[in-house]
Amino acid sequence: MAQLWGGRFTKETDRLVYDFNASIRFDRRLFHQDIEGSIVHVKMLAKQGILTESERDSIAAGLEGIREDVDAGRLVIDETCEDIHSFAEAELIRRIGDVGKKLHTGRSRNDQVALDMRLYIREQVIETDRLLKELLSVILKIMEENVETYMPGFTHLQKAQPVTLAHHFGAYFEMFKRDGQRMADIYERMNYCPLGAGALAGTTYPLDREYSAELMGFYGPTMNSMDSVSDRDYLIEFMAALSMVMMHMSRFCEEIIIWNSNEYQFVEIDDAYSTGSSIMPQKKNPDIAELVRGKTGRVYGALMSLLTTMKGLPLAYNKDMQEDKEVSFDALDTVKSCIVLFTGMLDTLKVNKERMEKSAMNGFANATDAADYLVMKGVPFRDAHGIIGRLVLYCIEKNTSIDALSLAELKAISEQFDEDIYEAVSLKTCVEKRLTIGAPGAEAMRRVIELHREYLKGDD
């Protein structure tokens, strides 16, 4: 057991206590950040005259050697150490001797772990944004190919008005775009360096916190040392943003599951993204979509867990905060793999344009447009609504659709109907007349698609 303390103790730590307290099993993930932070710390100490240049050089070289050896698989992270910080320091001292004992001057594990987590999460925020951008480009590609793929738009899962597949996917483009923007917001707020906060009250050494912050690409140092070691807001924000990503993917998955069903057959999930049944030979199940939907609960769990852990903690550092890691790492891994698989599933999704279009023609998705037609002929909207309601009832009884009725049948219900009704309620007209920005009409849609292209190019 390598532990960094013990001087004031007269007894060995109980084995169970040691294991319960240890975090190396999961904080080993912060190895690179820990080494980077330590190298910066000694550079700063030397610049301030707290360490000599030769002490700096041998500590930095020692740390770099540890990094190289772990990366190359020559050195195994020793899981009998209490945490990743103890491992790096013990290994350093083993390699370079007493000078290694100067590494921790003017630093506490409290600001050290706060730094390591920030460095790690900062990278992950960027990585999540990158994965979201890949998802957005696949969505955009599908939008571009389906500006004239007509389908029913739904409310209450009932056919409402015709839209296009481009428009439907466009809704998700907006959602995932906002998710990406949330990553950028989090980055802006979190990119301040806690190193130098010490255990809670700063240190008596003349540290140059601006310098450390600058070396690691932070905007500057954090402004309150107690807050610096106890702030997990940025992580909670990140979990909230990841929960939102999952919520959006989960809704999308739910639709794909419905659309992929035998009843709908709007889309077909590629064989590579489906699974079979061990008993029913005919089955091709949308397991990936279901798993993404299912894993959403797990990510929400991480958010709730962190909020609950933090809610009663007095300032400053408390060991409870060590609980920030396992759940957030798990949530992060989950979200990243879900985005990758979901992107692949969409990219290979087969769209059944005919089924969608046929479905949009049956089910009276053009009823509003038929009412609007009568309004254009001078009938007040409320009356037109009633007339079309009766027309729909007539069609249901005859098992037909508005556009399949003869002019005589139409005129029997309202004298206002003329030949031009067929054009007015055709699927194409219903969609293409919706031209205001944000609506599904092709012209409006193409303008939005152009904006999306610009956004993904990065010159938004």
**Between 108 and 250, whose beta carbon lies closer to ligand ARG?**
108
- Residue nearest ligand ARG by beta-carbon distance: 322
List the one residue out of 103, 121, 118, 115 whose CA is nearest residue 197. 115
322 binds ligand ARG (CB under 6 A): yes
For residues 226 and 202, the answer to whether their CB atoms sit within 8 Å is no
Candidates 53-61, 205-213, 243-251, 318-326; binding stretch for ligand ARG (CB under 6 A): 318-326
Please choose, from the candidates 121, 321, 338, the residue with its C-alpha nearest in 3D space to the C-alpha of residue 235: 121
Q: Is residue 321 near ligand ARG by the rule CB under 6 A?
A: yes
Contact window for ligand ARG (CB under 6 A) among 52-60, 105-113, 298-306, 357-365? 105-113
Q: CB burial class (10 A; 0-12, 13-18, 19+) of residue 314? A: exposed
Amino acid at 325: K
Active-site residue 156, yes or no?
yes
From the list 58, 110, 228, 359, which residue makes contact with ligand ARG (rule: CB under 6 A)? Answer: 110
User: How many residues belong to the site for ligand ARG (CB under 6 A)?
Assistant: 10
Applying CB under 6 A, which of residues 36, 55, 83, 372 lies at the interface with ligand ARG?
83
Q: Report which residue type is found at 223.
A: M
Element (H, E) at 438: none
CB of 23 to ligand ARG, least distance (A): 4
- Structure token digits, residue 373: 């037609």
Beta bridge partner(s), residue 193: 221
Residues 119-178 that bind ligand ARG (CB under 6 A): none
Amino acid residing at 393 = L
Q: CA distances (Å), 295 to each of 178, 302, 374, 446, in order?
A: 21, 11, 49, 34
Of 22 and 405, which CB lies nearer to ligand ARG in the complex structure? 22
Of 54, 277, 328, 401, which is the active-site residue? 277
Pick 31 or 317: Cβ nearer ligand ARG: 317
Tell me which of 156, 243, 248, 406 is the catalytic residue.
156
Q: What is the DSSP string of 319-352?
A: GGGGGHHHHHHHHHHHHHHHHHHHHHHHHTPEE-
Give the binding range for ligand ARG (CB under 6 A) out of 108-116, 139-147, 259-267, 374-382: 108-116
Q: Is residue 277 flagged as an active site residue?
A: yes
Q: Give catalytic residue positions.
A: 156, 277
| Binding residues for ligand ARG (CB under 6 A) | 23, 27, 83, 109-110, 113, 317, 319, 321-322
